[in-house]
Amino acid sequence: MAKNKNILVSLVGTMMMLVSALAPCASVSAFTVSPQDQEYVLTPGQSVTGEVSAFNPSDAEGDFYYIVEAVPFSVSDDGKYSPSFDAENDYTDIINWVTISDDDESAAEEVHGVLKPGEKGKAYYTITVPKDARGGGQYFGVRVKTDAEATQKASSDDTVAIREVLGIVSLVYVEVSGDIVVKGEIMDNNIQSFVLTPPITTSFVVKNEGNTHAKISYNMQVFPLFSDEEVYTTEEDMGSSYVLPGATRMITQTWDKTPAVGIFRVRQTVYYDSTDTEPSVTEKLVIVCPVWLLFLIFFVIIAIIIWIVMRARSRGKNKRAQDAAAA
Tens of pLDDT along 112-126?
Answer: 889 999 999 999 999
Do 40 and 138 belong to one domain? yes
Contact indicator for 186, 273 with CB cutoff of 8 Å: no
Q: What is the predicted pLDDT for the residue at 110?
A: 82
Contact indicator for 269, 251 with CB cutoff of 8 Å: no
Helix axis angle for 2-22 and 291-326, nearest 10°, is 170
194 located within any domain: yes
SS3 278: coil
Q: What is the predicted pLDDT for the residue at 103?
A: 74
Average pLDDT over residues 156-172: 75
Tens of pLDDT along 62-83?
Answer: 888 999 999 999 999 887 899 9
Residue 277 has pLDDT above 90, yes or no: no
Last residue of a domain, one of 176, 197, 229: 176
Do 214 and 251 belong to one domain? yes
Do 111 and 186 belong to one domain? no
Q: How confident is the model at residue 132 (pLDDT cuts 50, 70, 90)?
A: very high
Strand ranges (E), 43-135: 47-56, 64-72, 74-75, 83-84, 98-101, 110-115, 119-128
Do 235 and 107 belong to one domain? no
Cβ of 23: how many Cβ atoms within 10 Å?
8
Do 50 and 129 belong to one domain? yes
Q: How confident is the model at residue 318 (pLDDT cuts 50, 70, 90)?
A: confident
Cβ of 76: how many Cβ atoms within 10 Å?
13
Q: What is the predicted pLDDT for the residue at 297?
A: 76
Q: What is the predicted pLDDT for the residue at 95?
A: 96
Do 85 and 190 belong to one domain? no
Range name among 29-33, 34-38, 39-43, 167-171 with the lowest pLDDT average: 29-33
Mean pLDDT of the chain: 85
Contact indicator for 100, 123 with CB cutoff of 8 Å: yes
Do 98 and 54 belong to one domain? yes
**Cα(37)–Cα(39) distance, integer angstroms:** 7
**Cα(257)–Cα(232) distance, integer angstroms:** 9
Do 111 and 190 belong to one domain? no
197 located within any domain: yes
Average pLDDT over residues 35-60: 94
* Number of domains into which the chain is organized: 2
Q: Which domain holds residue 247?
A: 182-291
Tens of pLDDT along 97-113?
Answer: 999 998 766 666 788 88
15 located within any domain: no
- CATH number of the domain at 250, please: 2.60.40.10
23 located within any domain: no
pTM of the model: 0.78
Residue from 254, 141, 261 nearest 194 by CA: 261
Contact indicator for 60, 76 with CB cutoff of 8 Å: no
316 located within any domain: no
Do 40 and 143 belong to one domain? yes
2 located within any domain: no
At residue 147, what is the residue type?
Answer: D
Range name among 35-39, 79-83, 188-192, 207-211 with the lowest pLDDT average: 79-83
Q: What is the predicted pLDDT for the residue at 34?
A: 95
Do 121 and 249 belong to one domain? no
Average pLDDT over residues 193-213: 95
187 located within any domain: yes
8 located within any domain: no
Do 170 and 216 belong to one domain? no
**Cα(144)–Cα(170) distance, integer angstroms:** 8
Do 70 and 172 belong to one domain? yes
| 91 contact partners, CB below 8 Å, separation of at least 6 | 74, 136, 137, 138, 139, 244, 245, 246
**Per-residue buried b or exposed e for 196-214, using 16+ beta carbons within 10 Å of the residue's own CB:** eebebbbebbbbbebbbbb
